[in-house]
Structure 1
Amino acid sequence: MALPQLSDADRKAALKKAVETRQKRAQLKAKIKKGNVSLSEVLNKSSDPIVGRMKVLDLLNSLPGIGKVRSQKIMEQLKISSTRRIAGLGSRQKEQLTKELA
């Protein structure tokens, strides 16, 4: 399938939207890091496109006290793919994550 040809205006609009989305996701990660937003709050907002398209590994890395190694171990232990996004988590996986990190 060929990519659609975008005009310069369409390309600029898409670029602006992508930048805004990344900034909102970075703000969310900062709130998580500070402890202003809990894991369960984030998991409950999985229908929000900003939250839903965030990788679970990035979410775990944003939690205070959890680094890259520990987050990878948690993902392996719960059998969650390292490329899984929050919107793709099942209800059991959400429960397991919440229970593991409570």
Structure 2
Amino acid sequence: MQNLFFKIDDARLIRKKRAEIKRNLKKGMLTVQELFSKGNDYQKFINNMRLYEIIISLPDFGKVRTEKLMKKLNINFCKRLRGLGKNQKGKFYQYFNVGS
């Protein structure tokens, strides 16, 4: 039973951290380059996020622009970050100038 509470607390922490990441992206306090260069700091929290959620959280990216970009990069809307293929990840990193 105690193990269940740890999982609930972990899930709560992850949801809180993801919301904070999206909020910081939207406000411009965090860039895509910083998000991916931080590596281990954010990796635990963003690995299971959908790429759509990350892109739409960026300033000047709404629903339409995000969908157009994902079509241009040949990435399905329901893809999670950890589920991206090598080419998809490469196109995404190239578009946002992320050094990998």
Structure 1's 51 and 18: CA in aligned 2 closer, same or farther, altered over 3 A? same
Q: 1:39·1:98 contact (CA, 8 Å) conserved in 2?
A: no
Identity %: 29
Structure 2 residue runs of 5 or longer lacking an equivalent are: none
Q: In structure 1, what is the equivalent of residue 71 of structure 2?
A: 76
Counterpart pick for 2:55 among 60, 66, 74: 60
Q: Which moved more, 1:57-66 or 1:37-46?
A: 37-46
- Residue 98 of structure 1 deviates from its aligned partner by 4.2
Q: CA RMSD in A?
A: 2.3
Larger radius of gyration: 1
Q: In structure 2, what is the equivalent of residue 34 of structure 1?
A: 27
Q: In structure 1, what is the equivalent of residue 45 of structure 2?
A: 50
TM-score computed with the length of structure 2 as normaliser: 0.76
Amino acid in the other structure paired with 2:22: K
Q: In structure 2, what is the equivalent of residue 94 of structure 1?
A: 89
- Residue 66 of structure 1 deviates from its aligned partner by 0.4
- Give me the whole-angstrom Cα distance separating, in 1, the residues matched to 2:86 and 2:31: 17
TM-score computed with the length of structure 1 as normaliser: 0.75
Instruction: Tell me whether 1:25 sits opposite 2:18 in the alignment.
Output: yes
Q: How many residues align?
A: 95
